[in-house]
Amino acid sequence: MFGHQDDLAYGIGWKYPNGQSDVYRVTGDYPAVFGWDLGHLELESAYNLDSVSFRDMIGFAKSVHENGGINQYSWHCNNPLTGGSTWDVSNAGTVKSILPGGEKHMVYISWLDQVAWFLHSLRDAEGNAIPVLFRPFHELEGNWFWWGKPYCTSEEFKTLYQFTIDYLINTKQVHNIIIIYSNADNFTTCENFLDRYPGDNYVDMIGFDIYQSPKISNAAFVDWLKQMLGVLQEASVKTGKIPAITEMGYEQIPDPTWWTNVLWPTIKDFKISYVLFWRNAANRPNHYYMPYPGHPSEKDFLKLYSFPETLFRKDLN
């Protein structure tokens, strides 16, 4: 399955409600997986950190579900200790501060209450809860988020993860989340990948995020991606969890044949459930990861779309 972040909210040259989807504009179809972010929900803001209305996001989720798609949620929450953004790593004690007994524990609980409210709001026309993918504390081995590896021990991270899931499910009775343990792209072995794994009872799927940059040649990226996928497949067998590439992209897609000459030959023989590409920002013209009408890689993406093994929304109906 192919996915795209914020696909219905904005794209190149348009913003909701005056548009549809860059994927649709190119293929006549929508993604199979729709990525969204809950950042700033904890602040009781009306909009997330990418200026998407949470009220609209609830509507998008209902539409996606009713039309056979899948919703995935990440959570770039602010730093509860410093008051800074999710990228504020100025204090290495943030995770410890929100664990039970920590000085910011009650603040974190109030944030989880907001997340629970949102997840409870995801209901279909008959009032049934919409199942969604929930990806907390993603890229956990990195050093760019306050929950990253340099800023807490493995045990502290596991405790935070377990508390978060226990609170949502057992205390707030949130039962529509499929939980994803989502790593960064800097692991080398299965043991390394699972170093902060909170346990089988707290995880339903596993994955990682990976991006190519112009500094990385196609050949080097292929080798790197294959290594990551090999480890992911090994971890999937070991844990019995469904694997996915939970974020991916090549900003601006400068290679017009990247989709079928680089990406597809690399991933096609690995057992992954989906790959989700990052957003096409409406307010940052050079920040996009899917083609749009007239983009040099548009024809190549259409070729990828035509492969029977690639699944978009029509394939799920």
The residues annotated as belonging to the active site are: 139, 247
DSSP assignments along 213-252, one per residue: -TTS-HHHHHHHHHHHHHHHHHHHHHHTPEEEEEEEEETT
User: What's 200's DSSP letter?
Assistant: G
- Nearest C-alpha neighbor of 142 from the set 221, 104, 196, 180: 196
Number of Cβ within 10 Å of residue 75's Cβ equals 21
Residue that has been written with the tokens 């649709």 in this structure:
24
Residue type, 10: Y
Rounded CA-CA distance 90/93 in Å is 9
| Residue corresponding to tokens 């949130």 | 174
Question: What whole-number distance in Å separates Cα of residue 150 and Cα of residue 144?
Answer: 9
The C-alpha atoms of residue 142 and residue 183 are separated, in whole angstroms, by 8
